[in-house]
Structure 1
Amino acid sequence: MTSSEPSAYPPPPPSSAPGPYVAPPPAGYPTKDESGYPQNPPPKVETQSRGEGFWKGCCAALCCCCVLDACF
């Protein structure tokens, strides 16, 4: 190909538009520059004992399984 022949793909015209758009991170996502919202302290963890209700429910579930097994 000689220099006088037109090329198949000419270069694109120069653009004055800025570069590609970069979306901001999701809310609450930590960033390197820490310019986002301040971090909230973690919530207090309050544990409760498994009272009598837990054991009643567990025994009821076992009884249901046994009854269903006997029926079918």
Structure 2
Amino acid sequence: MAPGSYYVQAPPPAGYPTRDALNPASAHHGPVETKSKGDGFWKGCCAALCCCCLLDACF
């Protein structure tokens, strides 16, 4: 192997979750729960389309 032909990996950023066997307490966060955020996306999308159509009709 030629000198200087090795690969060194930088450590992950601070706070980045890792699969570290030395820190098993960080792996127990409990079950993941998802919550519905409603239909705000669709209301905003329809409002944007209406706004574009109105601006197109006016100008």
Q: Does the alignment reach a TM-score above 0.5? A: no
Q: Which structure's relative contact order is higher, taking Cα pairs within 8 Å and 6+ residues apart?
A: 1
What TM-score results when the alignment is normalised by the length of structure 2?
A: 0.39
What TM-score results when the alignment is normalised by the length of structure 1?
A: 0.36
